[in-house]
């Protein structure tokens, strides 16, 4: 009888230990799930910021290319006007 009581006590202790371990693991699981959700949220925010930065960069590139094209056009106009001026001055100095 004493042996059966010892076995019962041992099983109750192991059951208690296992219950405590299950509770600890459930708490750890919840903490990990919360950490995953937080990481997912941060990842989504980072992705949103990245997409916005890429859109801004694309817009800035287009604006820069447009301004460069305008400056090239102005340069061509100025170069042509200078060439005409040089030819005009040259013609007035050395008539044909």
* Location of structure tokens 């013609």: 91
Q: How much is the pLDDT for 83? A: 93
- For Cα atoms 65, 68, 70, give the angle at the middle one, nearest 5 degrees: 110
pTM of the model: 0.59
Whether residue 96 has pLDDT greater than 70:
no
Where are the chain's structural domains? 1-96
Stretch 79-88: mean pLDDT: 93
For residue 94, the 8-state DSSP code is S
CA pair distance 32, 29, nearest whole angstrom: 5
């Amino acid at each position: 009888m004493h042996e059966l009581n010892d076995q019962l006590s041992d099983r109750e202790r192991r059951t208690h230990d296992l219950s405590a371990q299950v509770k600890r693991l459930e708490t750890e699981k919840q903490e990990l799930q919360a950490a995953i959700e937080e990481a997912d949220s941060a990842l989504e925010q980072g992705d949103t910021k990245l997409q916005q930065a890429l859109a801004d960069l694309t817009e800035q590139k287009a604006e820069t290319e447009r301004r460069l094209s305008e400056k090239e056009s102005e340069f061509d106009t100025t170069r042509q006007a200078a060439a005409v001026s040089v030819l005009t001055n040259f013609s007035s100095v050395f008539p044909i």
